[in-house]
Amino acid sequence: MKDKKPTFAVIGGDKRNAVLAEELYKLGFEVKAFGFVNLQRELTMQCKHLNNTLEGADYIIGPTPCSLGGGALNAPFHNAPLFVKDLFSSIKPNQMFITGYVKPEVHSLAAEYGIKMTDMLEREELLTLNAIPTAFQLGGKKNLLHLVCRHCRLCRRLCFPYSLRLLCGVVILPVPLKTQ
């Protein structure tokens, strides 16, 4: 019997999360997305309802940063606020929520709802891998970004997928980062 591939729900976030959803889908994973109604392009895996998006997902990928003020999830392409409480009340105990830059009030809410959550920006390997492309991008040297981040097949502007592999065991980035 073959091992079951993990399934993903991508909830909110900026274009990096949209690219991540598309690339996971292209690699043959079951992916559903929510919170991208106003994205300039259509996501084939876009769901109309949050609960449909979460149904059957092993991993729920949230935005970075996770939340904005007032308890809203960071979902700039959604047509209405998405509240962290609404998301957490729908997550099942067997699902893992993966996000980044989590404020203390969201940590408290996750504990209250019994959510298994990982803050990607608390992981040292992501901080290291993300620091270089961020520095190059901020410095306006976008042509160097691809050279520095060539190991990252899914999203060349942020090494989020590399850490996703570390968390869920999905081998989606076969080339390790080479240091000089």
Q: Where are the domains of the chain?
A: 8-168
Reported confidence tier of residue 130, pLDDT bands at 50, 70, 90: low
Q: Is the pLDDT of residue 169 over 80?
A: no
Round to whole Å and give the CA distance between 129 and 125.
6
Task: Find the largest Cα–Cα distance for the chain.
Answer: 50
- Specify the higher pLDDT residue, 64 or 175: 64
- Specify the higher pLDDT residue, 158 or 58: 58
Q: Up-side HSE of residue 116: CA atoms within 13 Å toward CB? A: 10
Mean pLDDT, the chain, rounded, equals 76
Cα-Cα end-to-end distance for the chain: 42
According to the model, what pLDDT value does residue 126 have? 63
Residue 36 tokens read as 């991208």
Reported confidence tier of residue 172, pLDDT bands at 50, 70, 90: very low
- Specify the higher pLDDT residue, 125 or 40: 40
| Poorest-pLDDT segment among 3-17, 82-96, 105-119, 163-177 | 163-177
Q: What is the CATH number of domain 8-168?
A: 3.40.50.720
| Poorest-pLDDT segment among 74-83, 84-93, 95-104, 139-148 | 139-148
pTM of the predicted structure, to 2 decimals: 0.73
According to the model, what pLDDT value does residue 179 have? 35
Q: DSSP letter at 9?
A: E
Q: Which region holds residue 28: left if phi is over 0, alpha if psi is between -120 and 50, else beta?
A: left
